[in-house]
Chain A
Amino acid sequence: MARLLLHFSVPLRAFELQLTLPVERTVALVGPSGAGKTSVLRVVAGLLQPARGGVSLDGVSWNGVPPERRRVGFVFQDYALFPHMTVRANVAFAGPVDDLLERFRIAHLADARPQELSGGERQRVALARALARKPGVLLLDEPLAALDAHTKAQVRSELHELLSELALPTLLVTHDYEDAASLADEVGVLVDGRLRQVAPPAELVARPADAFVASFTGANLLHGTASRGELTEVVLAGGERIFSTDEGEGEVGVVVYPWEVSVARAHADDSALNVIRGEIGSVVEVGNRVRVRVGPVTAEVTESSAARLELSSGGVAYATFKATGTRLVPL
């Protein structure tokens, strides 16, 4: 397995982008827009020169190597297909076409212009073109952002298959944590040019390094004041007392994932559970699950329990979650 190593810093407009990141399988960089994600790809491709450090593949430094000699397959966010060339010519621009058109199911579009294609087709052309280059490294900038919701699910699974088949060091950039988690072996959270945490998706959810990582991965983030005890006791901003098995003291962020919260209409008299009483807010169906807001907490419950509890009629409910599922992070 090839190993791409990123170790550089480059001043951007608002901050300095600085990171050290080994890439062997698929690594997804996630973060808010303007965090420097695309700049990372541009440095790897040789389109942006770092002020210090650089990029190496299998120990061979790419410093001073121009983009055209880096063997990088770069799929740009808007695909950057050449509008004055046919699909076939676009792919052939990068190298021998071989069976790439068949493999990406674009053979019937060989003579079409990029302007005539749908978003999904354009993406397949862009991937075929990047692979015609016989790259040693794959760079994908927001590979799913330009697609509609329907196409996206299909492309996501195809892309996942392709990436495991290629087994290239792959760096992909997305602002969507779910895309990152479904495509990548490791996810790096990039904020203001710094990596907050790099870990497999499950690890990121289990042990978020800070409040931002937690809320970015979809967790509830509550503020509170912690004091030590057998369990850590946290007094939330709303006055509720809850407990956590994590250690902490002073101002902390309380992290609870929606799927670890259950909802009841009556107060469960179980001291092992944290309970928050609140008015039911929004009730939103997500696939076959229902996301419901109880006071400050979002819970994810099954459709059947949502119906049984008559959540859509509103009123007061109790959100409960275990002390072991209550993580404390620095703010």
Chain B
Amino acid sequence: MIRRAVVWGAALAALAFLALPIAAIFARLSFQHLASSVVTDALGVSVKTTFVAQALVLLAGTPTAWVLARHRFRGRSLVVTLVELPIVLPPAVAGIGLLAAYGRMGLLHTSLPFTQAAVVVAVAFVSGPLYVRQAIAAFEGVDETLVAASRTLGAGPVKTFFHVVLPLARSGLAAGEALAFARGLGEFGATIMFAGSLQGVTQTLPLAVYQEFDVNFHTALALGGLLVFVSAALLVTLKWLASSSTSAFRFALSSSS
């Protein structure tokens, strides 16, 4: 009995610990603060940069994942590890790395830093690998015999990709993209180092939360509430995609039932 009470007590304490900050945001939230120009500017920057960055991630990441999933070559696992490295890299390291590559003093001497394009680059760099990693798994889950069958049935490589491979990998790809989207939306460290936090230009929602918390705490709270909503919606989407998956893809989230 006592042991059981201890276990349940620990579980309840942990759940309360996780839920309290979220609850606190909503307890003190008033939505009128969402009308401030800091909020609308940050929302605009976030929407714009997120969509451009994720479009780039999809366009460049999908063929990359396809090549890595379908071809066995020397050094493949090294390449895959390199692709995955930004996932585990501390954001500050990503930021300094981007400056070292594209900064005025960097290898390529570009004028990219502290522009809106720099936000896109930082978000794509940090979130892209999440998509590519999941996409490799999704493509590897597509039965090679189906690809071969498509070819013998008269479909060239392009038709085969769009009519057989993509539909079969779709839910895995979508789950990967949802993860990348969420990670990109919350991007903070690499963005503030590489793009700064200039209202209306490079200041995204998370950066606005950070700037506002000692200026106007209520605005910061409202921004926080907004991000909680978006993140929760993404998480639900992810779980739904994972449970309705038709490909061999299995996502590491437990079902909510």
Q: Which A residues contact B (CB, under 8 angstroms)?
A: 42, 45-47, 66-70, 72-74, 76, 78, 80, 82-84, 93-95, 129-130, 133
Contact = CB atoms under 8 A, between A and B. Distances in A.
B164 to A, nearest CB: 6
Given A46-B152, A80-B148, A93-B155, 10 more contacts: A45-B152, A66-B151, A66-B156, A72-B152, A76-B149, A80-B149, A83-B168, A84-B246, A93-B150, A94-B153
A47 B152 contact: yes
A78 B156 CA distance: 22
Contacts of A74: 148-149, 152-153
B154 interface: yes
18 contacts: A45-B148, A45-B152, A47-B151, A66-B156, A68-B155, A68-B156, A74-B148, A76-B145, A76-B148, A76-B149, A80-B143, A82-B149, A84-B167, A84-B168, A93-B155, A94-B153, A95-B154, A133-B154
Given A84-B168, A94-B154, A67 B148 contact: yes
A78 B168 contact: no
Interface residues of B, number: 17
B9 to A, nearest CB: 47
Interface string B138-176: 000001011011111111100000011001100000000
A93 B164 CA distance: 10
A82 B145 contact: no
Interface in B153-202: 153-156, 163-164, 167-168
Most chain A beta-carbon contacts within 10 A, residue among B145, B154, B155, B164: B154
A42 B152 CA distance: 10
B148 A82 contact: no
A82 B164 contact: yes
A74 B153 CA distance: 8
Contacts of A84: 167-168, 246
A84 B146 CA distance: 11
Contacts of A82: 146, 149-150, 164
Nearest to A74: B152
A132 to B, nearest CB: 8
Contact of B246 (A42, A83, A95, A130): A83
Contacts of B154: 68-69, 94-95, 133
A80 B155 CA distance: 15
Contacts of A129: 153
Given A66-B156, A84-B168, A93-B163, A47 B148 contact: yes
B167 to A, nearest CB: 5
A80 B146 contact: yes
A65 B152 CA distance: 12
A38 to B, nearest CB: 11
Contacts of A73: 152
A124 to B, nearest CB: 16
Given A72-B152, A93-B163, A94-B154, A78 B145 contact: yes
Nearest to B167: A84
Interface string B222-257: 000000000000000000000000100000000000
A95 to B, nearest CB: 7
Given A82-B164, A83-B168, A83-B246, A93 B145 contact: no
Given A80-B145, A80-B146, A93-B163, A68 B152 contact: yes
B153 to A, nearest CB: 4
Given A80-B145, A84-B167, A93 B153 contact: yes
B247 to A, nearest CB: 9
A123 to B, nearest CB: 14
Interface string B40-80: 00000000000000000000000000000000000000000
B246 A133 contact: no
A166 B246 CA distance: 36
A307 to B, nearest CB: 49
A76 B143 CA distance: 13
B151 A68 contact: yes
Contacts of B168: 83-84
Contacts of B156: 66, 68
Most chain A beta-carbon contacts within 10 A, residue among B145, B149, B156, B246: B149
Contacts of B153: 68, 74, 93-94, 129-130, 133
A45 B153 CA distance: 10
Interface string B120-149: 000000000000000000000001011011
B142 to A, nearest CB: 10
A161 B233 CA distance: 58
Contacts of B164: 82
Contacts of A76: 145, 148-149
A42 to B, nearest CB: 8
A277 B154 CA distance: 61
A76 B146 CA distance: 9
A107 B145 CA distance: 25
A82 B246 CA distance: 12
A47 B152 CA distance: 8
Contacts of B155: 68, 93
A196 to B, nearest CB: 28
Contacts of B163: 93
